Amino acid sequence: ETGVTQTPRHLVMGMTNKKSLKCEQHLGHNAMYWYKQSAKKPLELMFVYSLEERVENNSVPSRFSPECPNSSHLFLHLHTLQPEDSALYLCASSQQQGIAEAFFGQGTRLTVV
């Protein structure tokens, strides 16, 4: 365990559903990240939060909506997803934004049907 916990571990949802992914860290880190890992593709950074403020959004479609209510929690709200959004979604945290050593959660394996 890295100290970063993601729930659920697996999620199957229809294209009209709304669901949320949750990430929690109690490492005292100030930066949190969402990454997407599709089959046979590199990890892609989606969002960066630093001190609960979104500081980076890498052209992610609006059907993905992040929320960071405090420095320990990060959510990814999903609605009207497409089958190509099926992937492993990884949350990570680091002491500060820009500190390279990030700790990753176990990820949520999302399947959109």
Partner 1 sequence: EDKVVQSPLSLVVHEGDTVTLNCSYEVTNFRSLLWYKQEKKAPTFLFMLTSSGIEKKSGRLSSILDKKELFSILNITATQTGDSAVYLCAPQGPSGSRLTFGEGTQLTVNP
Residues contributing to the site for partner 1 (CB under 8 A):
2, 4, 40-45, 48, 56, 58, 88, 90, 97-98, 100-107, 109
Of 27, 23, 31, 19, the C-alpha closest to 86 is: 19
Cβ nearer to partner 1, comparing 36 with 78:
36
**SS3 at position 47:** strand
Cβ nearer to partner 1, comparing 14 with 57:
57
- In the complex, minimum distance from the CB of residue 80 to partner 1, in angstroms, rounded to a whole number: 26
- In the complex, minimum distance from the CB of residue 58 to partner 1, in angstroms, rounded to a whole number: 8
Cβ nearer to partner 1, comparing 94 with 112:
94
Task: Count Cα neighbours of 15 within 13 Å in the Cβ-side half-sphere.
Answer: 5
Cβ nearer to partner 1, comparing 3 with 14:
3
The answer to whether the CB of 104 falls within 8 A of the CB of 91 is yes
- In the complex, minimum distance from the CB of residue 16 to partner 1, in angstroms, rounded to a whole number: 27
Q: What angle do CA 45, 50, 53 make, to 5 degrees?
A: 100
**Token pair 């320990």 in the structure block, residue:** 72
